[in-house]
Amino acid sequence: KSLNETENEVDTTDNYESDLKDVYSFSQVDNLSQENIDSIINYNKANVMTLNSYYNNYLIGRANGIVINEGLVVTTWSFIEEALIKAQYITMKDGYGKSQEIEGIVTVNPDSDLAVLKLKNKTTSKIKLTNSSKSKIEDAAIVISSKTGVGYSLRKGIVVANDGYIQSSIPVTKEEQGAPLFNANGEVMGIISTKAINTSISLS
């Protein structure tokens, strides 16, 4: 099913039947209530960012990000590296469509595929972080991301492995790198990395 992303909205209808249901129990994520899902969206929507890189106004790459502290956004180093090589500038906007200006790069970690950007405006983050080592196999996993740059979608799955990197059952694309991965309590467990982009497993 294709995404039905609408400006400033989060689509929650992008459901899919994972082949992994024959191997793992999806009961925890299947038991999430709509109230729980709405709470996660409303609490985090303003802090989920869409980033686009351009050269001569042509789109070079797209990614997502998450505001983790006052004026700081985490995304992937893969996206930033490609933008530094191929693009002239990067634009960013939040889940409400408000543009955010990037002041610079604070730090990067190529090994973990992370980059921290500083915003010119001191955007306050209220997200909740959790220690990723606490995530267990078959725990609920939720991704809020934008593939098209217009609106966001929310998809649900489970944790299928955690060996320092969380692997989930949620299929993702390159354009969704940097998107936050939440647990059932709406806490950020990690972000989507390009190290394992394919049709069945995402890596955070």
User: Can you give the pLDDT at residue 196?
Assistant: 56
Query: Which two three-digit tokens encode residue 8?
Result: 């400033």
- Residues 44-64: pLDDT tens digits? 888 899 999 999 999 999 999
- Residues 1-22: pLDDT tens digits? 333 445 556 777 666 667 788 8
User: Can you give the pLDDT at residue 63?
Assistant: 95
Of 45, 48, 98, 39, the closest CA to residue 68 belongs to 48
Mean pLDDT for 147-163 is 86
User: Can you give the pLDDT at residue 2?
Assistant: 35
Task: Burial-class residue 173 by CB neighbours within 10 Å (0-12, 13-18, 19+).
Answer: middle
% of the chain surpassing 90 pLDDT: 52
Query: Which two three-digit tokens encode residue 46?
Result: 């303003």
